[in-house]
Amino acid sequence: MLITRHLIALAFAALVVGTLPYTALAGPPPSATQAPAFYRTALGSFEITALSNGTIELPIDKLLLNATPAQVRKALDHHHLHTPLATSVNGYLINTGTRLILIDAGAGSLFGPTLGRLSTNLRAAGYEPEQVDEIYITHLHPDHVGGLSVDGQRVFTNAVVRAEQKDVDYWLSSSNRDRAPADSKIFFDGAMASLNPYVDAARLRPFSGDSELAPGIRASVTRGHTIGHSIYEVESDGQRLVIWGDLVHVAALQFAHPEIAITFDSDRKTAVRQRRRAFEAAARSGDMAAAAHVAFPGLGRVRFRHGGYEWIPANYEDIQASKR
């Protein structure tokens, strides 16, 4: 009886409270900003920090090749996406314990206010640009090198920049720029503005072909997207991560249909072959991969599915737990 009376009293109190007037507390307007975007994971004894450079909206129904605009829109709709597609631009910081190595430097100010946040997120992650020892560039497109310099000054004042020799020779060539179509000259301008301060300081050191650049980090040249596009294979204590750069742009389509290319590819047939090769290797090995334009943090694994492939995003975990 006592319990019944107690329950009745609680129910009555809830009814009374529910009828009382109240004042809403949601007075401030929405902030309309995202939190600092970095994500850490362990790779053996290395620590990997994914850094967001922001997103950019791309009209991918007009940019993708070997698929009709209707096919693109249908695939996006299946993933609850739309065009223009908010496309991530990611960089990756590797702390080896003895070196701090950045893979790609983001767009800087070259593509408007929704990008250019890599340095800000680097600081939010607990580092300063001057602490970076080396920067490995997958290729010299502006959204990968624009963050290297501001107003002709090096952002990463103590870093050496590494990139494949053929990409460097092509994109830093004034004669190649002069011969390029008008709508392509911006790519050369961005590369030159971003890299020349490092050239002047003797801090650009290209490599030629597949190369070991640091203990546990190897460059593998994957020409196609650009003439010197390279991926970076990172290994520590038997764990591997392959950083793909621009082997893939639109996860919602290109994993299931790796034959789909994009207008930014300089050699589209070769770019498709490189993508297929990378997907197959990742699916067979089970190793983690990272991609510059897959939704942040752009880390995950690949598996075979229905004659194509499927992207499995990395599960969120506490980095301390992942090191145990």
Give the number of domains in the chain: 1
Residues 6+ apart with CB under 8 A from 138: 103, 104, 144, 229, 230, 231, 232, 243, 244, 245, 246, 292
| C-alpha–C-alpha distance, residues 182 and 157, integer Å | 33
Question: How many Å apart are CA 90 and CA 105, to the nearest integer?
Answer: 9
| Nearest C-alpha neighbor of 172 from the set 130, 66, 72, 164 | 164
Give me the sign of the Cα torsion angle 104, 108, 111, 115. positive
- List the pLDDT tens digit at each of the 324 positions of the chain: 444 555 444 444 443 444 445 565 556 777 777 776 999 999 999 999 999 999 999 999 999 999 999 999 999 999 999 999 999 999 999 999 999 999 999 999 898 899 999 999 999 999 999 999 999 999 999 999 999 999 999 999 999 999 999 999 999 999 999 999 999 999 999 999 999 999 999 999 999 999 999 999 999 999 999 999 999 999 999 999 999 999 999 999 999 999 999 999 999 999 999 999 999 999 999 999 999 999 999 999 999 999 999 999 999 887 666 665
3-state DSSP assignment of residue 115: coil
What is the CB neighbour count within 10 angstroms for residue 314? 16
pLDDT of 322: 60
Q: Is residue 203 part of a domain?
A: yes
What's this model's pTM, rounded to 2 decimal places? 0.90
- Alpha carbon distance 179, 313 (integer Å): 41
Angle (CA) 144-292-231 rounded to 5° is: 80
Please report whether residue 282 resides in a domain: yes
Residue 277: give its domain's CATH number.
Answer: 3.60.15.10
For 300, the domain range is: 35-323
In a domain, 266, yes or no: yes
Nearest CA to 60 among 79, 46, 43? Answer: 79
Model confidence pLDDT, tens digit, residues 125-180: 999 999 999 999 999 999 999 999 999 999 999 999 999 999 999 999 999 999 99
- Cβ atoms of residues 216 and 235 within 8 Å: yes
The whole-angstrom separation of Cα 296 and Cα 292 is 8
In a domain? residue 22: no
Domain assignment of residue 11, yes or no:
no
* Domain contains 121: yes
CA-angle at 203, arms to 199 and 206, nearest 5° = 80
C-alpha separations of 112 from 90, 143, 154 in Å = 16, 11, 20
Asked if residue 25 belongs to a domain, the reply is: no
3-state secondary structure of 169: helix
Burial tier of 28 (Cβ tally within 10 Å: 0-12, 13-18, 19+)? exposed
Which residue type is seen at 41? T
CB-based contacts of 316, cutoff 8 Å, min separation 6? none
